[in-house]
Each structure stands twice: as structure tokens, then as C-alpha cells.
Structure 1
Amino acid sequence: MTEFVNFSTVVRAVVGAGFAVGTIVGSAQITQAALPNLPGADLSPVSVLDESYLLGPGDLITIDIFNVPEYSGEQRVLANGNVNLPVVGQVSVNGLTLAQAESAISAKYSREVRYPQITVNLLNPRQLRVAVTGEIHAPGLYTLDAGQRGQFPSLIEAIRLAGGITQAADLRRVEIQRRTENGSTQRVVSNLSALLGRGDLSQDFPLRDGDSIVISQMEEIDLEASRQIALSNISTDEQEAISVAIVGEVFRPGTYNYASRPTSSQSAVGDNANVNSVQQPGRLTVTRALQLAGGVKPMADLRQLQVKRTMRSGETRIIDLNLWQLVEAGDRGQDLILQEGDTILVPTDFNASPDQISILTATNLSPDAIAVNVVGEVEAPGPVAVDANTTLNQAVLAAGGFNNRAKETVALIRLNADGTVTQRAIDVNLAQGLDDEKNPILQHNDIVVVDPNARARLADGVSSILGPFLQILPFRNLF
């Protein structure tokens, strides 16, 4: 029996590019920094991902047989996983490492060549097919090509090819599952938060054919982590149109399409749908969405605003926001960046104080103008467009002020958030400052009714009685 010699300790340099620099034949592991052992991660106790390359259909390899150049040369792994070798015919290398392929080929040539010394190098790897699931824009199976320098595609490349991760993704727990040479499955967690925060490139693992990437979801939505994702280049496309719903204390509740690439200015979907398509630069935030919905009403409770977000698993997470911190202290961390399918819930604050309403209506979260109706004994009765923080006195003045027939006690009619209608009488004093009882801030569609005074009512009564006679009697001119 001929003796077989295998140079398994020779360091291989892959032809054309250094995508396997540092790979040792037989072990095929690249030294990397240990990954974090995160609580709750049911993973194998390994510190690095097995970098062994397993041959498969489509790989282009070179086979060198020492001192036998006529048997050496390039070979393409066939669809059945075999290579067709001179003299000895087909040899299966499917699922083998380079070292294992050397052993299989050496065993085949041992009958033809005395002391065969075989070297197998990977010249051009096949396309890689990887699965990406979890909190990713478009889960599914993807095909990646080796780069121009022959480098293996990385985890980040696969994430970007799948459209980017959602803002509900747990960056600390991106799991890679890989089949190893012994047939088992290895699981390792990549901490992409360390990559984004500290530039730790060791977390961007080179991929292998058949890898599965599972992106876990956050247990609880973290505003800072969500913002970190949204502003990174591994998030979803900033220019892709998203649809969000806005309900509650806003002037135009409904569903809105938003994109930062050019689109139609407005479109409706369905027979009676309230769907607007808007194009602006930058990502859609909660404050931008509220402005798209016409702004918040004076009774909006910004301290308990909520965003309902649906995860890829179908679960729903509620994100609590306090936009009042943004209004009072400029806390932009509360201005959540939205993603596809989010719903904003704006509750009603039935105990809102006049001062709070005044502050809110002065912000750009409220509309620039509202419409109120001032009817009756004013100089210019009818609809009046006024600022959102306009008081009753200012609305009367905007309608030209009282005429000489006016009674200075007016009726304020309001449609409330709960669907009821209230009416109250207010004695108007044009010198009165902001006061919830005597000079309240008006709301959209409020009606101010200015009745005639007693003298005017008397004159109207006399005129209605004597009017027909005055038209026919000759002494009508006396009146």
C-alpha cells in the first residue's frame, strides 16, 4: 500500500485575493475577539464563528499534484458535488473542507501516483445563498456574490441586501447559524451595537453558503437604540415610502403616506379613505407626522402620547412618549423616528389648564390657523381664519368688533371631543386678558353668537309689527 502524505499545516493563500488570509488548512478558523455572552441567548458556548469553507457546486478550485503537472489544473465543482479528474474520474467534494477534499483526492490518486502530494486551493467561490429572518425589512432567501477581490460577503452586506433592519431589532442579538464540517449547527451572536457604537469590525462576520441570519426583536422598545438604528446605514431605506396612521386629538386623523423621494402631492385610496402622500427630505418623525395631520388640538395630551408598533412576529409593542418634554426642555429623544405600519395615538387631556393650552397652541405642533364662526351683531359676521391660540376677544375683533346693536354677552358654542355640544354665555370685556372663564382660547369650528341688545330687539319688534303699514300709509316717511 502506498504511503499518503498530506501537508495539512501549510498556510494557504487563496488565488486572486486575500479573503482567506490567516486560514489554516484543516482547522480553518480565524482568530477574532470573543463575542458578548448575552443573557437569554441560548447559544453554543463558542467565542468565534467556524470559518471553515465547505465546497459545493459552482466552486472553482485548483488541484496541484506535486511533480504531476499533467493531472493538475483548475476544476469546477459540478452540480452533483463532484469534480471530474484526469485518469481517476469523478470524486465527490461536496460539503468537504479544502483539507478533506485533499484527503479524498489523494485516496483516489493513490493507485496511480506513488506518494501523491495534493494541494487544493479555492480559486473562485460560488454564489452564497443565505436566509435572513426576524426584524428585517424583507425577510427571505438571498444570493450574494463574492466581491471583486474575492472576499466573502459579510453580515452587514446581507442585512443591507434584505432592505435593512427595523427599528424594533435588538442590535446586541443578531444570531448567525452555520453548518459545520461535522454536520452540526453552530450558533453565534453578533453584537452590531458594538459595531455602530465603537466601530468593532469583528462583529461583521464573513458569511458562508447556507448561513441563516436571525435578527431578534427588542423585549422593550428603547428610544435611544431605535434612533441609533434609524440613523445608521443598516436601517431601512430613508427614501422608501412608509404609511402611518394618526388618530386622536389631531385636526385630520387618518392614514398618511410619507416619502423623502419625489411623489405626487396628494392622493386618496379607496372611496372615502383619508390617505395623503407627502414628500419631504429626511425621515418621518412623530412631530412631522402630527404636522401632516393638521396639528394637534388644544386639548391634546402630549405627556401620554403613544406609538403602536407591530413586530415581524406579529406582536404589538406600545411606545410611550412625552412630547411635553420636547416642548418645555427640547428633549428631541422623545421625537421618535417612525417606520412602516406605526400608529400614533394622541389622547385627550380633559384637565388641560388655560396656561397649558396657551403654550401648546403657540408651538408648531398646532396648526398655523383655525376657522371660527362669529355671527350676529358684529361688523363682518361669518367665518374667520385666526391663529391657533386666538382668544374670544381677538376673534370678535377679527370680525370687525361689535356694532351699535350688539349685546356684550355672547354665546360660545363648541363641539367637544366626546361628540357632545356645549353652549355657555360669556360677558365680553375687550380689555380682559387670557382667562378660561371670561376670555378663553377658541378651538377649530367654534361658533360665537353675538345677540342684539334690548334696544335693538325693541326696534326690531316695532319694525316687524308696523312694517306692513309703513309701506302703504303716506306718513311712513315720518319713521
Structure 2
Amino acid sequence: MAAQPLGPFDEPALSAPDGPSSVAAPDSTLNPSANSTSGNSTPDSAPNSAPNSATLQPLPRLLLAPTSTSAGSVLDPTLQPPIDGYQLDTGDRLQVEIFDVPEFSNRIYLVLVDGTISVPWIGSVRARGLTPQQLASALSQAYRPFVKTPIITVNVLTPRPVRIGVSGEVNRPGSYAIEVSNRDVAPNQLPLQWPDVTRAIVAAGGITPLADIRNIRLRRSDPSGTPQDQTLNLWQLLESGDLSQNILLRDGDMLMIPKASTFSSEEVSRVARASFAPETIGVNVVGEVKAPGLIKLPPNATLNQAVLAAGGFLRPRAVSSQVDLIRINPDGSATARRIPIDLQAGLNEETNPLLLNNDIVVINTNGVTRITDFLRVLLSPVDNLSNLRRLLAPSVPDFQ
């Protein structure tokens, strides 16, 4: 029975121990005369009779198949790395072996920038866009003039970095190349570091306190190139450990983290402790505080926490009833708000809002202090002139 095509968010079963791999099986047995003398065969050594149709012998599954899921759900990413159907491209490290041909034992090939690999006897072979199974079949066809009914195995030893786009409520939105690490795993084990959603968010600097982690949108193209969206709920990951929401990513995936419309102090505190939240944010507190400057705060910090972390108001100079909050927008513009402050208030948008990385809190000077400072500046030139005259007095003649 023909295999059913997979949807763009399905995580198919793995077919090889160390990465994407496949074996191109022979039409019949190996030709014993193909390597009987020098180890290199010639086109004349090919069989005269027409070979049987080639058959593919799938490797045994290494993992249990997942249980059935409802429509729109995501298969368990810990059981289903997105390797089956993996398409080769520049940067993949491959192992290509031909059974019973010693010259090809443990040969490692790198997919070059033009999307090809260079193999002995054949030269350049296109690998870009092919699965390991398709490449094994192509190599099998190419080697038939030299080796009778070759059995060829293609393994991906080190997949290329996965390119992911991350936008929305993260500290550093943009495009990221995340490496797939399988260098430290034991033989016949799966790579343990295939990029997932939380790893991509961490690469983008972590979420902001304004992120809506219940409605993260993942956009992935299906085999025909049509983009399809799926909504992920990382709150379920925090609340109940639902790993199915932390889906494994594929090359070209895009993540969009929207802005939440409502906040609660309990949820903000829990999200700030998540592994995909930044450890700290930087807030500049300037003006009439005891220790102005850049303050490192937890990612769920509020306006009150920033003022207190800077030593509190510098009395009697400071205006302690309101502060200015300046925020740099993603487009480079800035917005300023004058916020009435209440150091006893809890988290709320009116008097004690959440802060973002690179926010600026300005503590203004009260009216009496401004008048005093103005008079000091106004009178300072007179003082300076008197000091100058006093310094120059010995050398200036007295005309009186």
C-alpha cells in the first residue's frame, strides 16, 4: 500500500540511527567479478540481462509510533524528530557507503555550496533538495556501470543549521541559524538537540513580559510550498508539562509571538521563570534617584521595582508623585508616558506597568529645586569672575 503523504506539521517516524539515512537495495546479488582484481569495475562488467525493479528495504523503526492524535494536534516531539523526509542542502555532512566495496568504507562528504557532493568514479552528484533515500537511489543508478547491483547507504552525520525566523514579542527578533547537535551522542542513538520552539525563542533573546505565549503562531510550508499556520500554547507546557506544544522545527519555519491583551501578576511571574525567558532586562533610571544608571532587573520587573532598585527618590529634589516612562519601539521611534506612581501598588498598567528591555525611567526635579538650581547657574558667572580677578590681582596694576 502506498504511503500517505504527511502534512506540514506531522512529525514522521525516524528511519535511521544517527540522522536521515536510507539504503538503496540491489536488483539482485552483487556481481562477484566487479571487484575480483583491482577493486574497480568497468562498464563491460555490468550484467547483460535486464535487472529486476529496484526495491527499497526500510530500516526498522527505532522508536515506538505515537498514539493517534486529534486533528490539528502536534505529535510528541521527543518521539518524532523531523528527520524522515529531510531534504539535503549546503552544509550537510553525509556518509556514503557501498556494500562490499572497501574503497567506500567510512567516506564522509560535505554538501557543497552548489548543492552537490563529489564522489569517486562519478564526480559531482546533485544532493540539494533530495532526501537521503533519493540520493542513495541516484548514486545506485550512477554506479551501476561500475558495480553490479550496488547496495548504497546514505547517512546524515551532521545536519546543517536550521534557519528559523522569529518575530513579535521577543527581545531580538530576526532570522537565526540554529545548529543541530548530535556530535556527543552514542552510536545508534538519536540526536538530542534538534531545535524546538523554546530553543528558537531563547536564540532570539527570550520573550518579553508582554508576550502572549498561549497563541504563538508557527508558519510552515507544505511540500507544495503553500504556507500553513498552526497555533501553539506554551502556557500548557508551563502548566502541565505538555511537550507536544514545544514542536520540533524545520528549516524555513517562522515563529510569531503576539502581544497579550491582559496580564495577571501570577502568570507574569511564572512566565518570567520559564527557560525561554531572558535572565535579566536592562532599564535606564535617570534623574532624581540615589543611584541613577543602567539597572539589571528580572524580566517581570515593574516600574516600582526599577525606582526602588535605583535607590528610591532623591528627596527633597525629586517629584515623587509621577515619573516619565520612555520606550523605544521596534521601528526606531520612541513613546513617552507620564505615569502617576504609587510605590504600594501591585502590577497594573495605570500606575505600575511592566517594563521592557531598554526602557528609560525619568525621575523629574520638583519646582522649588529647579528654581534653586536656576539661580545657582545664573549667579555662577559672577562668582567665576570674582575668582578670576582674585587670581589675576598680583599681575594687574591698580589704576586707582
Residue 291 of structure 1 contacts residue 366 of structure 1 at CA under 8 Å; is this kept in 2? yes
Q: 1:54 to 1:422 in 2, by over 3 A?
A: closer
Deviation of 1:389 after TM superposition, in Å, equals 1.2
Counterpart mapping for 1:145-160 below 5 A: 154-156=57-59
> How much does 1:459 deviate?
0.8
Matching residue of 2:196: 285
Matches of 1:55 and 1:414, distance apart in 2: 68
- Taking the TM superposition and a 5 Å limit, the aligned residue runs for 1:50-449 are 59=31, 81-82=47-48, 93-95=49-51, 154-156=57-59, 196-197=64-65, 222-224=73-75, 228-230=79-81, 239-240=158-159, 241-261=161-181, 282-349=193-260, 351-355=261-265, 356-404=267-315, 405-408=317-320, 409-416=322-329, 421-449=334-362
Equivalent position SS for 1:452: coil
In 2, distance between residues paired with 1:287 and 1:80? 53
- SS in structure 1 opposite 2:208? coil
Which range is displaced more, 280-289 or 292-301? Answer: 280-289
SS at match of 1:155: coil
CA distance in 1, matches of 2:157, 2:239: 29
Does the 8 Å CA contact 1:310/1:317 hold for their aligned counterparts? yes
Q: Say whether the 8 Å CA contact 1:303–1:323 is kept in structure 2.
A: yes
1:403–1:38 Cα change, 3 Å: closer
Q: Secondary structure at the match of 2:379?
A: helix
Deviations 1:210-236 (A, max 9, x none): xxxxxxxxxx87511766431889979
1:238–1:260 contact (8 Å) kept in structure 2: no
Q: Distance in 2 between matches of 1:318 and 1:435?
A: 33
One-letter amino acid of the counterpart of residue 318, structure 2: A
8 Å contact from structure 1 (residues 358, 441) kept in 2: no
Partner secondary structure for residue 197 of structure 1: coil
Q: CA deviation at 1:359?
A: 4.0
Quick one: distance in 1 between partners of 2:339 and 2:26?
85
Report SS of the residue matched to 1:466.
Answer: helix
Shift in Å, 1:454 = 2.1
- On the 8 A contact 1:301/1:348 being kept in 2, the answer is yes
The aligned length equals 277
Q: List alignment gaps of at least 5 residues for structure 2.
A: 7-24, 34-42, 88-155, 184-190, 388-400
- Structure of greater relative contact order (alpha carbons < 8 Å, 6+ residues apart): 2
Specify whether residues 471 and 81 from structure 1 end up closer, same or farther in structure 2 by C-alpha distance, changes over 3 A only: closer
Give distance in 2, aligned partners of 1:197 and 1:419: 49
- 1:295 and 1:331 map into 2 onto residues whose CA distance is 20
Give the structure with the larger strand fraction. Answer: 1
Once residues 37 and 400 of structure 1 are traced to their aligned partners in structure 2, the CA distance between those partners, rounded to angstroms, is 67
Structure 2 equivalent of residue 143 of structure 1: none
In structure 2, the residue corresponding to 1:366 is in which secondary structure? coil
What secondary structure, in the 3-state scheme, does the structure 2 residue paired with 1:313 have? coil
Which whole-Å CA distance do the structure 2 matches of 1:402 and 1:54 have between them?
81
In 1: Cα distance, 2:282 partner to 2:241 partner? 29
Which residue pairs with 2:145 in the alignment?
Answer: none
Q: Distance in 2 between matches of 1:345 and 1:37?
A: 32
Amino acid at match of 1:353: F
SS in 2 for 1:426: strand
Q: CA–CA distance in 2 between the matches of 1:39 and 1:308?
A: 19
Q: CA deviation at 1:388?
A: 0.9
Compared CA separation, residues 438 and 60, structure 1 to 2 (3 A)? same
- After superposition, the Cα gap between the structure-2 partners of 1:129 and 1:226, relative to the gap in structure 1 and judged at 3 Å, is farther
Equivalent AA in structure 1 for residue 65 of structure 2: G
Q: Is the 8 A contact 1:391 1:442 kept in 2?
A: yes
CA offsets 1:215-268 (integer angstroms, 9 cap, x no match): xxxxx87511766431889979585232222122211122222224499xxxxx
- Over the aligned positions, Cα root-mean-square deviation in angstroms equals 4.0
Q: Please, what TM-score do these two structures have when normalized by structure 2?
A: 0.58
Q: Residue 429 of structure 1: CA displacement?
A: 3.2
Larger Rg, first or second structure (1 or 2) = 1
Is 1:459 matched with 2:382? Answer: no
SS in 2 for 1:302: coil
Assess if the C-alpha contact under 8 Å between 2:77 and 2:243 holds in 1: no
Instruction: Structure 1: state its 5+ residue gaps.
Output: 1-34, 41-52, 62-76, 83-92, 97-127, 131-152, 158-191, 199-219, 264-279, 475-479
Q: 1:156 to 1:317 in 2, by over 3 A?
A: farther
State the 1:449 CA deviation.
0.7
Q: Secondary structure at the match of 1:407?
A: coil
Aligned-residue identity in percent: 34
CA distance in 1, matches of 2:323, 2:365: 10
